[in-house]
Structure 1
Amino acid sequence: MRFEESDQATAKALELDPALAESYNIRGISHYQRQLYDEALRLFEGYIAALPTLEKERIATGHSNRGNVLSCLNRVQEAIEAYKTAIASAPRSPRTYNTRIFLSDLYAGQSQFNEATEALNGLLALAPNYADAWYKRGVVRIQMGNPEGALEDFKTAVSTPRQFSQGLEASAYQDIQAEWYILEDVIENKSVLSKEPEDGDAFAMRALARIYYSKVDNRIAEIEKARKDLEQADSMLKGKTDQEATTFRIYYASNTIVVFQAGSGEFDKALKTKRLALRYPPSPEARFGMIFEAIQLVLGGYQSSTSDADKKKYIDQCFEFLNLAHELGFKNWQGLAELPAYQPLHSDPRWAEFLEKIK
């Protein structure tokens, strides 16, 4: 049924019987799916108000749906309270399983990792074979600086008889596969944190270990130490290493550092870190990805700059990276001219020249 037909049908039902609770819920979902959040919120609140007090599971559904809308409106604390109310309404119901995961996600987004873990622990006590919860707790444990716990949770998530929800399975397996090697690496080499590295490869290892063992209260300091370790590794390696593991360690450590720096608005520092990492690409495909990540950093710096001189500096770097990708043989340029992110380049004569070159 189309959205319009659904709205008409449920609106008519409410007109005939304003207490028909499910019509509020159906209309709320319709508006939520169309990102009409204010109206969706009103409808979900109407749904909750129209329900008999004994309808605990449906009340839980209403509060969970309300929490979803509040989350989309970035009213995070209200969303947290809505999810908690949903869980309290039907604490053992499977209807609240995903609500507990949504609650954990919001807590983690606020760096409230203990609360995020508690939400997932409650879910695992009810549904120990729910792989989504093991995976999510593993992710939280990485953020808490507990690689050993994270790896154990990932191992449990992918073991029989546990099963993922269909919507999460593919991305969860991809994330677990990517993190598994790193977690094993930092756990095996944890001792590097207690001794002075002797060569560039060891400095790269320590940079990665610092990041994965950093706690919430010392993360800023540890990421800065990891950045210095990467610079020391680079000064000793001079762009060359025969250790394949080192290229991956630099790649993953630099990614985390860059995200932190860019998130703090330090685009020049992030670009410096990305340029360092580009000297040690783990694969040709990864190198192209790193180049386009550098371009996104450049464009972020451009958007945040206020002086014409700074804007020109970022535009110059953008063309530098575009030309580098072309020189290295990147082929998939389809749609580049239409991408809104590249709008700042359109008035520069080099843009037309570049588009002609990649035809």
Structure 2
Amino acid sequence: MTWTMPPPMLTTPIPQPVLRPGWAAEPKWDGYRAQLSLDTGRVELRSRRGTQMTEAFPEIVDSAAQLPDRTAVDGELIVWEGDRLAFERLQQRLPRRGAAAARAAGEWPAHFVAFDLLRLSGTDITRWPYRRRRSALESLFTTRRPTTPWALCPSTTDQTVVTEWLTWTTVGMEGIVFKRLDDTYRPGARGWLKYKPRETTEAIVGAITGTPAAPRTLLLGRYDTTGHLQYAGRTTTLPHDADRALAGLLTAAGPGHPWTGWSFSAGWSTREALTVTLIRPELVVEVGVDVARDRAGRWRHPARWHRVRTDLPPSEVDPAL
């Protein structure tokens, strides 16, 4: 019988990084969720949504020979740039094929951080509890000693270690995933828990989607040390009460706006350009953001609206990274 890789087990967000009795914790890396299967020399590498990534990451495919045959692992694809993870480099690699993919592998090599084991030497182990799957995964790394680009994701049942991991956010650690020790691998189920640290901060409104009278989202900026307004990120769709808070505070910009001629993408996974209205960069707002940033210091996930800060001038907003 042909073995089929199951859909990935998923997470549910939680507000606090508390490690419960009977659970384990793992760091969540800022990369692509990926599953890899090796079966009689054939390698399949696919994303969380089932996208085939085999041709885009030849170095991962070539290194799969270090695993036992008829084995499948779940994990995260990451790319390092200097001393932090670079999600945008990973994203740029996804559409490349053939010689272009090979060149990208040399310039921005990917790593596979394995955190779960789905099949081992022909045996489907998804019905094993997490603690047994984890033990088998650690044993595989101990006996096979796979080298780069393979890495074993840490796991702990110690709250103090979880607290320490949360200090790794500056290198691209995105949060914490919690897994029940006696839970099986349930394809497609949201049986794991995920905590992503967030912070409240201020930014300057530099543009909007919608109109000044009825903005839908805010495009936010911060001044760098040379006095240039740099794009920092965009908010989620504004709640209804934001209209009242912003009423009369947004003024369309005239000539000379620092973002004149710029284009803004609708999101990380699309080349669709936003239709925006440039706004005089005079209004400061408070937003909630998570820790994932690109190499330019921009928030990689949408910011959440909190409130207007008319008490703060733009000059008092933290500078761009």
TM-score range, shorter chain: under 0.3
TM-score using structure 1 length: 0.24
TM-score using structure 2 length: 0.26
Q: When you count helix as a share of all residues, which structure comes out higher?
A: 1
Higher relative contact order by CA 8 Å / sep ≥ 6: 1 or 2?
Answer: 2
Q: When you count strand as a share of all residues, which structure comes out higher?
A: 2
